[in-house]
Amino acid sequence: MDCVATGGNVKVLAKAIHSLSRIGEELYLESVEDGLALRSVNSSRSAFACFLLSPLFFQKYQAPSDQSFRCKMPIKSIQAVFKSLASLDRSVEKCRIQLDSEKNRLTITLHCKHGLLKTHNLSFQDCESLQAVFDKESCANVLQAQPRLMVDTVLHFPPSLEEVNLSVTSDRVWLRNHVEDDADSLRAMMTELCLSSEEFDHFAVGTQTSVTFCLKELRSSYPECNRQCSGGKFCPRYTVRGLASKEKPRQL
């Protein structure tokens, strides 16, 4: 495997890794013909995230000729390579990622300005492919919105909040902080937001229902989605069983 990212794409790559670090402690890396996949899953295997960087993202992309390459490594080790996000686009001109299968090393070389080279040799472990198993076509409810709408919505909740409850009706979405049944309702602070169906690009509710899910992992994806997908959509899909992110990934 040999791939080279240049210019602003180096920072995009770094931000993707930092975003995944908020999900899990390990980075699953897979190189295939369709591109370079970066994945992570949390310890309870209730949250899963994946970035697929297509060959067009790279100046050069060469996947293994014989078969796809898969490995995993502590995400902190590769996160340390791109630790200075603020100055990355000003100091790094290109990033090269190479695989040394004989030594089980992933080599990341940062080509900095003034001819400076920074080489990082990271050890890794072979692993099976990690993929979330979820049939999007079976979802009874589909909400599609601009990322900015979702970013502005979660800003109303404190960073320490662990869980939120999302409810939908035929024309409304309600988002409120989750309070345990045994909590003192008179002392608990309640935050509730109501979004009209008109604020969404696509609003299809087949089953009026309510789900409670962890906000931490979901919140980590919003800023990255808003920065990198200004022309895209944020599309949560769920059934009465829960959000898509609640489906447990399995190794194939």
Residue boundaries of the structural domains of the chain: 2-131, 136-251
Look up tokens 């599309």; give the residue.
235
pLDDT at 148 over 50: yes
The SS3 of residue 220 is: helix
- Looking at residues 3-12, what average pLDDT do you find? 92
Q: 136-251: what fold?
A: Proliferating Cell Nuclear Antigen (3.70.10)
- Work out the burial of residue 109: count CB atoms within 10 Å of its CB; fewer than 13 is exposed, 13-18 middle, 19 or more buried: middle
Share of the chain above pLDDT 70, in %: 79
Q: What is the largest CA-CA distance in the chain?
A: 64
pLDDT digit string, tens, across residues 180-197: 665 555 566 788 899 999
- Give start and end residues of each alpha helix (H) in the chain: 8-21, 75-79, 85-91, 147-154, 215-228
- Looking at residues 8-19, what average pLDDT do you find? 91
CATH of domain 2-131: 3.70.10.10
pLDDT at 66 over 70: no
pLDDT at 27 over 90: yes
Asked if domains 2-131 and 136-251 share a fold, the reply is yes
User: Which is more confident, 49 or 38?
Assistant: 38
pLDDT at 22 over 80: yes
Give all strands of the β-sheet with 163-168 in edge-to-edge order: 192-196, 172-177, 163-168, 210-214
